[in-house]
A and B are shown apart, each in its own frame.
Chain A
Amino acid sequence: MRYLTDRKRAAGLGSAKTGTEHFWQMQVSSAALLILVPLFVFVVGPLIGRSHAEVVAAFARPVPAIVTGLTLAVGLVHFRMGAQVAIEDYTGGLTRRLLIVAVVCLAYGALAAGLFALVRLAL
């Protein structure tokens, strides 16, 4: 009888030791995005191109604000992890390190800016 789960037996293996964790985080965030992205497209999408007053009024309501906040947070963290793997695949050495730092700064910078704007609009 096996007491360990399949995931537990895979955790910590491979050259990076954290592949299972990364794989699982990407699965969770992609599953969340499958729900968030259609909501974002159909709830927030129609706001683009509207007047300033309409946009401000829309983000003061809970659904557009929460959908936008969650989509930005989950989407940009998903991007940060996915882009890092792409960089690790195609570059090496110092270029790799600099690009990963740049991607992390860009993702969290955009996330912070987006959430700041959202809070200011919503409150």
Chain B
Amino acid sequence: MADVNRGNRPLSPFMLGRYYRFQLTSVTSILTRITGNALIVGALLFVWWLLAAASGPGHFALANSVITSWFGDLVLLGSLWALWYHALAGLRHLYWDSGRGLDVPTAERLGIGVIAGSVALTVLTVLVV
């Protein structure tokens, strides 16, 4: 039989940690997915704030107090870094998709660039905005 094990096959990411050592390339790739999915939290907070602004000063006061609290600041700062990280990692993917930069030294340099760039852009944004 070609497919005896139907339904009982292991799901990703079972290889990670146990069989595969964490590397810069794998960690930066996983972080791309984590940041991308985590951005929904910041997006929902922003949409709620926007909806509150549209419904009037009463609702806005509540949303504004949440978004400017330490919790709101934490979510926004995290989202900001996630946004820059995911944007730079996405740029790296577009570069890879063109068939360039796929050798290990270049990929690792790009990984360091994505991490350093996302931190630098986050600091810059906090200072400017």
* Residues of chain A having any CB pair with chain B under 8 Å: 27, 30-31, 33-34, 37-38, 41-42, 45-46, 48-49, 52, 55-56, 59, 68, 72, 75-76, 79, 82-83, 86, 89-92, 106-107, 110, 113-114, 116-118, 120-121
Contact = CB atoms under 8 A, between A and B. Distances in A.
A52 B53 contact: yes
Interface string B21-60: 0000000000001001101100110110111011101001
A90 B12 contact: yes
A76 B33 CA distance: 15
B91 interface: yes
Interface of B: 11-13, 33, 36-37, 39-40, 43-44, 46-47, 49-51, 53-55, 57, 60-61, 64, 67-68, 76, 80, 83, 87, 90-91, 93-94, 97, 125, 128-129
Contact of B47 (A49, A72, A79, A90): A72
A33 B87 contact: yes
6 contacts: A30-B93, A49-B64, A56-B53, A72-B43, A75-B39, A79-B40
A106 B87 contact: no
7 tightest A-B CB contacts, nearest first: A117-B54, A120-B54, A117-B50, A117-B51, A114-B47, A45-B129, A52-B60
B51 A79 contact: no
Which of B39, B47, B49, B97 counts the most A-chain CB atoms under 10 A from its CB? B47
Contacts of A31: 94
A70 to B, nearest CB: 14
